Structure 1
Amino acid sequence: MEGEASNRDIRRHIINACIQWARIKGYSDSAGYLRGLAISAKDPVTLDELVQDTGYSKSTVSLNMNQLKNLGLVKRVVIPGDKRHLYAPITDPETIKTNMLDAITKEVQLFCEALNKTESDILAGRDDAKYLLERIASLRQSYEMGKKAIDFLRKQSLDEIKESLE
């Protein structure tokens, strides 16, 4: 019995961390909870098991698991002859690295586009916020350095990154 309680405590930490991740990223708590269950499960979990474990509706679980799949955080596991939807966490380090860098790249691209549009509006005389030009230049320089760091990390293997950190 003590081992079961300990296992539940360990799972709770992972699940709580995943719920916090979901909140930070603007996803639902249910997405974080489901991600935590997938990460902490010993084997791939079925859609029905997730419904039973969470009490969420089948449509809520299905939508959230599809979202997690599209984010590259879980994968659908296919077992020949088994028509159930099984899900497992993505654990391959290179895939995780790529997914993290892709997410950062999207954020950087979004913000750089906003900077460019704002600068164009100011230069076209559509705004009286010329003070923003200096701020935009500074932010653009920071984001360009960020892009270079991302490109550098993409080219490095995890072993090379690990070596440079030791």
Structure 2
Amino acid sequence: MGLLRGTLFLESEPMSLDTLAEKTGYSKTTVRSNMNCLENIGIVRRVVAPLEKPHRYKQYRYALVNDAEAMRPVILSAAKEEIHLILQALQQFEKNLKGSNVKDAELKASLVKAVQFYEEMSRILDLIGEYSSKELIAIFESKKKWNSRKSNDSHVNKCKACGKQTLNGPFCSHCQDMRDELRCWPK
């Protein structure tokens, strides 16, 4: 399907099944079934072409859908489906692992991380689906500006004892340890 999409992308005009088959090297049957699939999920559209020679049937040509907002649901749906399938496989693996005698803590920890990652990706895709592309860009850019302003507003703390930079508190970790031990360090 990728080669068919790429071929349509490079052409400025809609293409017939015969032309697509010729350019890709696929059989006409393969092209037809793939184009039907791409049409069903909204990636291509079928247009009726002007008849060049007398035909008994309409001649269809295929064009790539170029509207990004129209493509978003298709792409999100495919990504969500892929994540759903991965999560199902991970859950099945987890179930099989519980039934076996495997005691590998590293494997179990890796499985937990993978499940968490794909659950987070699923949630991210859900959030992406709630906003248009322009809204998402505005949200991310405003967050970026806010973070930049926040980091510029924060001042650098210096240790009261030695003058080294501290992340938080009036003393660096070394001086704090010394202060705790001696209990006579300046406050």
Q: CA deviation at 1:61?
A: 2.3
Report how many aligned residue pairs link the two structures.
135
Relative to the length of structure 2, the TM-score reads 0.61
Amino acid at match of 1:164: I
Distance in structure 2 (CA, Å) of the matches to 1:136 and 1:63: 37
Seq. identity, %: 34
Inter-CA distance 117–33: structure 2 relative to 1 (3 Å threshold):
closer
2:59 to 84, 89, 97: 84
Give the gaps of 5 or more residues in structure 2: 52-56, 142-187
Greater Cα radius of gyration, structure 1 or 2 = 2
How well do the aligned residues superpose, as a CA RMSD in angstroms? 2.6
The equivalent residue for 1:33 is 3
Inter-CA distance 80–129: structure 2 relative to 1 (3 Å threshold):
farther
Q: CA deviation at 1:73?
A: 2.2
Give the gaps of 5 or more residues in structure 1: 1-30
- Aligned 8 A contact 2:17 2:32 in 1: yes
The equivalent residue for 2:18 is 48
Distance in structure 2 (CA, Å) of the matches to 1:53 and 1:122: 48
Distance in structure 2 (CA, Å) of the matches to 1:63 and 1:99: 18
Q: CA deviation at 1:71?
A: 4.6
Distance in structure 2 (CA, Å) of the matches to 1:65 and 1:55: 15
Amino acid at match of 2:11: A
The equivalent residue for 1:25 is none
Paired residues for 1:16-165 under 5 Å: 31-78=1-48, 83-124=58-99, 126-131=100-105, 132-165=107-140
